[in-house]
Amino acid sequence: MTRLNRRQFIQIGGAAAGGLAAGVGLSTKWYGLDPDEVADPGTDGDRVVPSFCEMCFWKCGILAHVKNGRVTKITGNPAHPLSRGHLCPRGTGGIGLLYDPDRLKRPLIRRNRGQMQEFEEVSWDAALDLVAEKMLKIREKYGPEAMALYSHGYGGSWFKHLLHAYGSDNIAAPSYAQCRGPREVAFHLTFGRMVGSPENTDMENSRVITLIGSHLGENMHNTQVQDFTRAIERGAGLIVVDPRYSTAAGKARYWLPIKPGTDLALLLAWMNVIIGEGLYDHDYVEKYAFGFDRLKEHVRDRTPEWAFTRTSIPPETIVETARFMAGGRPASLIHPGRHTTWYGDDTQRLRAIAILNALLGSWGRKGGLTLPSKVKLPKYPYTKYPGQSKNPPDMPKGTVYPLANEILSQGLCMASIPGTAAYDLKAWLVYGTNLIASLPDPDATRKALQALDFVAVVDVLPTEITGWADVVLPEATYLERCDEVHTPAYKEPFLAVRQPVVEPMYDSKPGWWIAKELAHRVGLDDYFPWKDSVEYAMYRVKHGGFDCEELKRTGVARGKHVPVFIDDGLEPVFDTPSGKIELYSQTLEKAGFDPMPEYTPPDEPPDGHFRLLYGRSPVHSFSRTTNNRFLCQVVSTNEVWVNAQAAREMGLRNGDMVRLINQDGVVSEPLALKATQRIRPDCVYMVHGFGHNSRLLKFAYKRGASDSRLMTRYKVDPIMGGTGMNVNFVRVEKAA
Amino acid sequence: MKEKTDKRYAMVVDTRLCVACKACVLACKAENRVPYGFNRDWLVEVTTGRFPDLALENRSERCNHCSNPPCVHACPTGASHVNEGGAVLVTHHKCTGCKACIAACPYGARYVHPDGYVDKCTFCLHRVRDGREPACVEICPTGTLHFGDLSDPDSDVSILLRTRKYKVLHPETGCEPNVYFLE
Amino acid sequence: MNESLIEVVQGRNNPMIDPSLHIWGWEIPVYLFLGGVVAGMLVLSAALALRDRDGPRSKALQTAPLLALGLLSVGMAALFLDLEHKAYVWRFYLAFKAASPMSWGSWILLLVYPAGIMMGFGMLDSDRRAALLDSRFVRGLHLRSLVMCILGRADAARRGALWAGIIAGSALGLYTGILLGTMVSMPLWNTAVLGPLFLTSGVSTGAAVLLLLPLSTGERHVVARWDMAAIFVEIVLIVVMLIGFATGGHASHVAFSQLVDGPSASAFWALVVVAGLAAPFTLEAIEVRRSLKPLALTPILVLIGGLSLRWILVIAGQASSWANIP
């Protein structure tokens, strides 16, 4: 065959196939009597309802297709700034949650049957009456603050409102002290403003993106990944610092397989190079930063050679990457990350990330970090909350985390063990939070649960936490209810509504209804004056000057565009003591902490042990989606990544079933071993969220292994109380 | 009836952008009611090298809708056929389930539907005919997937193939696939 | 290959495709084997009949074509069992697809029956004809006049019927090999040698079945010699095939390794090469040279070899599929 160039090749190929198709196909077409039809699978909806997603907490705009009363598919709402017509796998998987056969169907009350306890299905009245009775009793006996609320998810707003009205402000979510907390504190200390969710990054315009342990792509926040890949498409260079060759590392110009726990040394060395070589943004630092000279002095001896002995990253790589990231400034972003509770010194690590961003002049700059704004909607006019007289008891006696700016969930958990804190918590209301899987040291959580007078759980699925409840209230899914209006801070301000797509299945009820009914039963009707959540939401929308009918039709409305970059004429405001970017933090100094980040070496793994690292699958949200049969078609279990060489030395092969045993002798469920070149030999990695032991999660039960169970230890961040969880060590044994 | 068309549909997969999230797989499943446990499209993640010198390629794969489709040649009944724009389809009511097409396909792109007929990716021709993109392309959050008409020199796919380095899978088999992978 | 390693995560996991293609189970090798046997029986019995124009023919040989058709029906039953969409089997006969060996095959199968009946009836002597006309089957279904008519036609075109048998048999034998051989997706099948190999193997196994019948000594000698020749050709073809694989590209190496160190390799060498070819060739050579009383073992070994050849090639061929090469 003669050589053709590729363009011609296609055309000729096409023509040839056309001829062939005619020649071969005619014989069966019977001249039109036996046609080949293009079958339509018929999944386009008779109705298409715009709403926003709750499969994770990013809240992308969705279009739910409904045909004959069933949701057939969920696609991205092109008008919504967070989805732009695209969805992550979980967004599509909403149908797997809605039609999960294991859903909680009717209210349940714990009953004693001789030696055994079991749940009895009851009416809503019976269940709500019991919760209300307990709430009243607890308020009378111990005061309202003895009742705490754990809430994660957008539907939790109704219960937060209820609890505030009831008189308790003890409301926490693991998303703070087990996740984003250190980042928010560190950025607030540095820039006087938190990162928030969605993160205020402007990755799509970045020229260089540096990820410190962030596994974007595996951590699948839709808009963020869209911006990330857009940046790659536009030729942005990536520096990925991760002990594991993550998906993001696979796209990086530089992969730095750092020794776990030593990121701060690398960050200081980068500052050393960037300041030492004068690569920082002089004007920006001059104009906006406070304490540069002290920082310069502070990092003077933090040389790449110094960092090499700690991080195992060669000095020349550190210098090269420092120059590379500085070459992209100000469109050079050191990503703040999201799940940042790793080693207990996390606020300082995040401070270093914030400082590095400041040196590159990326805060408030295109391709760096934005200064977003939100659509302001008037609040619904309620009676003022009574307010709580006592401080939250989330810091056990003798401890103080002076810079925590939210309530610590593990602290509230501890306060439930009598005598631990300033006062005891006596009852929990748990909304959408599987505390057994999300708090470290699950034994402590169980101990707290045992000590409580009363636990009520509102959830969609029979997760582990529901097994500890006295009353279980089955909530309708996000596709069956209307929630609070979504008005996040974002570079394009917008508001979005969650609308019920179908009627609640079984005997489940939307959260607003449950909260309103409870309020009615404890005499708080004043706080729930609206008929339903639609009336509530539309009040806010209408009084915010938006068209309710239009919004119901489109699901989303844009606010006025305001500049979010300094380059666009926005004058930045830094809510810090100096009114500037605090390279040197006066707040930390005053509180008795290092005002500039200092490296602390991590503990070494005991002999024969690996550091246990964990992360996410793009298909799952924590432990919430691992029972979702639709999603589990593509990822149904987790595996443990072990360096291939290390595995061989242990006599283990790829695919072997193994168990992990941690430093305290806790043994994991069996899971498959992934022997791979993609991880350092001193650590192992697994995806979080598997290994359920709730039998009622019929699909997820005993599928994969739980990393949470192996986290018997955690290191608390002295600055803000976050729980560093990458401090557990495991050995790997072949499962019998 | 012979579909008279000059179109040549193709898909271009930008492996640089793909994060192997599998949104394409699930969107396809929902759109096309793909039975539980079966996949019309799928992810292949290939890592090459030794720690720490590694390379990763993520490929969202599916039927290649070949210009020289061995499945269509192998089909004894005409069930497997070339439809509009070169899309290779299976007419369910002509399929005997003999599986010759599955054996003939070098890409493993076909499977036996639980109802007995052979099933596969259709390039979402039912959507494409309405001017919409295939479900996998529409959902993809990373911009990895491009769908279009190669006979139109100004189409997205034509431009990408003119300007970027690409490969097809198993070119040795001579099937002339129409799913292209950008490097 | 340098020192680099490859790790592949294959997310497809479709039933019958992954991790290794296995769409065809026992039905297809059984059908291919019986198809080959039938082809060989038709060709050989027709050739014998043509050769001994007036000489005595054994009763066994006279019934061989009809026996072959019986075996073919068993094979077709296996083929039918393999269909996943059985209610649509008639679709085979609403189309003729020139590029599809399977389509050729379905029509060839239709032609084999009339050809086999014509040639089979033509070979019957008068006793057998009487018995046939007298049989419960013919009488019960009132087929007497039809059978008489066919017998008349068969006699009128005896040589033509025999040639029709040879052509139909050859087509059957060839297509079963080509069916697999055209699959570009299976490196182990995708060789031009496979068609001739299956045809020759068909001749050999067909001969083996004939040798198990009470043939006359003369017939037996001829069939045994043909069998030896077929086995010899088969060995040559297998050597050619292996050399082709060994010296080819990546795909050929995949195929080669299937036969050399794949999971089916030991079965291939033991059952096909040694038990199915070398052993019966040696035995037959000894039998012919020493004019020993023929052993039933020899044709049985040939049959085992022929069935194993199909079975192993079908299994190992699927295992070599490009579909499982990332």
* Domain map (residue ranges) of chain B: 9-67+121-182
Q: Other C-beta atoms within 10 Å of A526: how many? A: 10
Residue of A nearest to C92 (CA): A28
Q: Does residue A571 sit in helix, strand or coil?
A: coil
Mean pLDDT of B170-182: 94
- 8 Å CB contact between A487 and A544: no
Just give the CATH number of B9-67+121-182: 3.30.70.20
Nearest to A225 among B25, B142, B162 (CB): B142
Helix axes of C27-51 and C217-247: crossing angle, nearest 10 degrees: 130
- List residues of chain A with CB under 8 Å from any CB of chain C: 20, 23-24, 27-28, 30, 34, 634, 644, 676-678
Inspect the interface and report whether the beta carbons of C97 and A678 lie closer than 8 Å: no
* Residue contact C94–A676, C-beta within 8 A: no
Neighbours of chain B (3+ CB pairs under 8 A): A, C
End-to-end CA separation in angstroms for chain B = 39
Residues A93, B26: C-beta atoms closer than 8 Å? yes
**What mean pLDDT do residues A401-420 have?**
91
Closest approach of C52 to chain B, Cα-based (Å):
40
Contact B167, B180 (CB under 8 A): yes
> Considering Cα of C295, then C296, then C301, then C306, what sign does the dihedral take?
positive
Q: How far is C93 from chain B (nearest CA, A)?
A: 8
The sign of the CA dihedral A678, A680, A684, A689 is negative
State the amino acid at position C82 in one-letter form.
D
Asked whether residue A268 is assigned to any structural domain, the reply reads yes
Partner residue opposite B31 with nearest CB, options A26, A41, A233: A41
Q: Are strands A683-687 and A723-724 parallel, antiparallel or unpaired?
A: unpaired
Query: pLDDT digit string (tens) for B51-101?
Result: 999 999 999 999 999 999 999 999 999 999 999 999 999 999 999 999 999
Cα–Cα distance measured from residue A348 to residue A342, given in angstroms and rounded to the nearest whole number = 12
Query: Which of A37, A44, A62, A73 is best to mutate for the B interface (most B CBs within 10 A)?
Result: A73
Structure tokens at C137: 């089957």
Q: Quote the pLDDT of residue A12.
A: 33
Which pLDDT tens digit goes with each residue over A294-320?
999 999 999 999 999 999 999 999 999
Looking at chain C, which residue has its C-alpha nearest residue A654?
A: C7
DSSP A129-169: HHHHHHHHHHHHHH-GGGEEEEE-SGGGHHHHHHHHHHT--
DSSP annotation of A301 reads: T
Phi and psi at B60, nearest 5°, equal -85, 110
For residue A457, report the phi and psi dihedrals to the nearest 5 degrees: -120, 130
Amino acid at site B72 = V
Q: Using CA atoms, how far apart are residues A706 and A434, in angstroms rounded to an integer?
A: 13
Query: According to the model, what pLDDT value does residue A35 have?
Result: 84
Choice among A107-116, A302-311, A530-539, A654-663 with the minimum mean pLDDT = A107-116
- What is the CATH number that goes with domain C27-324? 1.20.1630.10
Q: In the Cβ-directed half-sphere of A261, how many Cα atoms lie within 13 Å?
A: 21
The answer to whether A351 touches A585, Cβ cutoff 8 Å, is yes
Q: Which of A369, A400, A421 corresponds to the end of one domain?
A: A369
pLDDT single digits (tens) A671-684: 999 999 999 999 99
Please give, rounded to a whole number of angstroms, the shortest distance from the CA of A526 to a CA of chain C: 54
Nearest to C323 among B25, B106, B115 (CB): B106
CB-CB contact of C111 with C168 (8 Å): yes
pLDDT for res C59: 87
Q: How sure is the predictor about C53, in pLDDT bands with cuts at 50, 70 and 90?
A: low
| 3-class DSSP state of A350 | helix
CB contact under 8 A, A36 and B26: no
CA-wise closest residue to C3 among A677, A641, A680: A677
Query: Within 10 Å of residue C179's Cβ, how many Cβ atoms?
Result: 24
Q: Look at A92 and B20 and tell me if their CB atoms are within 8 Å.
A: no
In whole angstroms, give the CA distance from residue C58 to residue C43.
Answer: 17
Where residue A365 falls among pLDDT bands split at 50, 70, 90? very high
Q: What is the DSSP string of A644-661?
A: HHHHHHTT--TT-EEEEE
Give DSSP secondary structure letters for A432-456.
S--HHHHSS-HHHHHHHHHH-SEEE
In angstroms, the Cα distances linking A196 to A188, A190, A193, A339, A357 are: 10, 14, 9, 12, 16
Domain membership of residue A700 as a residue range? 610-734
CA distance C267 to C272: 7
CATH of residue A281's domain is 3.40.228.10
Flag whether residue C95 sits within 8 Å of chain A, measured between CB atoms: yes
Q: Do C98 and A677 touch (CB under 8 A)?
A: no
Is the separation of the CB atoms in A178 and A438 below 8 Å?
Answer: yes
Q: How far apart are alpha carbons C305 and C311 in whole angstroms?
A: 10
Residue C4 confidence class, pLDDT cut points 50, 70, 90: low
C200 within 8 A of C301, measured Cβ to Cβ: no
Tell me if B78 sits within 8 A of C46, measured CB to CB: no
d(CA A571, CA A671): 53
Q: Which of A39, A220, A248 sits opposite B21 (nearest CB)?
A: A220
Q: Considering only CA atoms, which of B2, B29, B25, B32 is closest in space to residue B128?
A: B32
* Residue A638: per-residue pLDDT: 97
Q: What is chain B's alpha carbon radius of gyration, rounded to the nearest angstrom? A: 16
Q: Burial-class residue A599 by CB neighbours within 10 Å (0-12, 13-18, 19+).
A: buried
pLDDT at site A517: 98
- Cα–Cα distances in Å, from B67 out to A12, A515, B80? 10, 60, 13
Asked whether A364 and A570 are in contact (CB, 8 A), the reply is yes
Q: Are A111 and A121 in contact (CB under 8 A)?
A: no
Percent of chain A with pLDDT over 90: 88
- Decide if A678 and C7 are in contact by the 8 Å CB cutoff: yes
Each residue of C202-229: pLDDT tens digit?
999 999 999 999 988 888 888 998 999 9
C9 DSSP β-pair partners: B45
Q: Do residues A577 and A411 make contact, with C-beta atoms less than 8 angstroms apart?
A: no
Mutate to test the interface with C, among B60, B96, B112 (most CBs of C within 10 A): B96
Contact: B78, A251; criterion CB under 8 Å: no
CA dihedral sign, ordered C179, C184, C186, C190 = positive
* Half-sphere CA count of A490, side-chain side, radius 13 A: 23
Contact C176, C198 (CB under 8 A): yes
Average pLDDT over residues B38-60: 97
C320 touches C263 (CB < 8 A):
no
Q: Which of A23, A34, A677 sits opposite C5 (nearest CB)?
A: A677
What single-letter DSSP state applies at residue C262? S
Please state, in angstroms and as integers, the Cα–Cα distance from residue C209 to each residue in A155, A453, B108, C97, C213, following that order.
Answer: 77, 85, 38, 33, 7
Residue type, position A233, single letter = E
Give me the total of CB pairs closer than 8 Å, taking one residue from chain A and one from chain B: 213
Task: Determine, yes or no, domain membership for A207.
Answer: yes
Q: How far apart, in whole angstroms, are the C-alpha atoms of residue B47 and residue B38? A: 25
Cβ pair C84:B97 closer than 8 A: yes
**B92: which chain A residues are within 8 Å (Cβ-Cβ)?**
39
Averaged confidence pLDDT in chain A: 93
Angular region, A211: left φ>0, alpha ψ -120 to 50, beta rest: beta
Structural contact between residues A145 and A412, judged by C-beta atoms closer than 8 angstroms: no
Question: Is B91 within 8 Å of A633 when comparing Cβ atoms?
Answer: no
pLDDT score at A305: 98
Residues of B in contact with C102 (CB under 8 A): 74-76, 98, 100
Measured between beta carbons, which residues in chain B are less than 8 angstroms from residue C326? 44, 46
Tell me which amino acid residue A353 is: I
CA distances from A12 to B11, B67, B170 (A): 18, 10, 19
Please compute the mean of the pLDDT values over residues A261-290 and round it to a whole number: 98
Higher pLDDT, A450 or C137: A450
Contacting partners of chain A (3+ CB pairs under 8 A): B, C
- Residue B109: pLDDT above 80? yes
d(CA B78, CA A21): 10
pLDDT digits (tens, 9 = 90+) for A130-146: 999 999 999 999 999 99
Rounded to 5 degrees, φ, ψ at A422 are -55, -40
Structure confidence at residue C268 as a pLDDT band (50, 70, 90): very high
How far apart are alpha carbons A35 and A38 in whole angstroms? 10
Q: What is the pLDDT of residues A171-187, one digit of tens each?
A: 999 889 899 999 999 99
In angstroms, rounded to a whole number, what is the distance separating the alpha carbons of residues A212 and A334? 8
Single out the residue in A321, A349, A369 at which a domain terminates: A369
The reply to whether residue A24 touches residue C94, judged by beta carbons under 8 angstroms, is no
pLDDT of residue B86: 95
Domain count of the fold of chain A: 3
Q: Is the model's pLDDT at A211 over the cut of 90?
A: yes
Q: What are φ and ψ of residue A4, in 5° steps?
A: -115, 155
Q: Rounded to an integer, what distance in angstroms lies between the CA atom of residue A732 and that of residue A659?
A: 6
A2-59: pLDDT as tens digits: 443 433 333 333 334 444 444 444 445 566 678 888 889 999 999 999 999 999 999 9
Chain C, nearest residue to B98 by Cα: C83
> What does the pLDDT read at residue C250?
83
Report chain B residues whose CB lies below 8 A from the CB of A215. none
List of chain C residues whose C-beta atoms are within 8 Å of the C-beta of residue B20: 11
Q: Which residue from B minimizes the CA distance to C320?
A: B106
Q: Assess whether pLDDT exceeds 70 at residue B3.
A: no
Residues of A whose CB is below 8 A from B49? 677
| Residue C210, phi then psi, degrees to nearest 5 | -60, -40
Asked if B23's CB is within 8 angstroms of A89's CB, the reply is: yes
Per residue in A548-600, pLDDT tens?
Answer: 999 999 999 999 999 999 999 999 999 999 999 999 999 999 999 999 999 99
Residue with more model confidence, B60 or C285: B60
DSSP state of A484: P
Place of tokens 């699927």: C318
> Which residue of chain B has the CA closest to C9?
B45
Flag if C83 and B47 touch (Cβ within 8 Å).
no
Chain A interface includes C11 (CB < 8 A)? yes
CATH number at residue A657: 2.40.40.20
In sequence order, the β-bridge partners of residue B46 are B57, C8
**Touching chains, C (3+ CB pairs < 8 A):** A, B
User: What distance in Å separates the CA atoms of residue A508 and residue A528, rounded to the nearest whole number?
Assistant: 20
Give the pLDDT confidence of B111-166 residue by residue, as tens digits: 999 999 999 999 999 999 999 999 999 999 999 999 999 999 999 999 999 999 99
Please name the member of A43, A75, A257 whose beta carbon is closest to the beta carbon of B33.
A43
Cβ neighbours, 10 Å, residue C60: 17
HSE on the CB side for A281, CA within 13 Å?
24
Residues of C in contact with A247 (CB under 8 A): none
- B60 vs B81: CA distance, rounded Å: 24
Cα angle, residue B31 at apex, residues B148 and A87 outer, rounded to 5° = 75
Single-letter amino acid code for the residue at A483: D
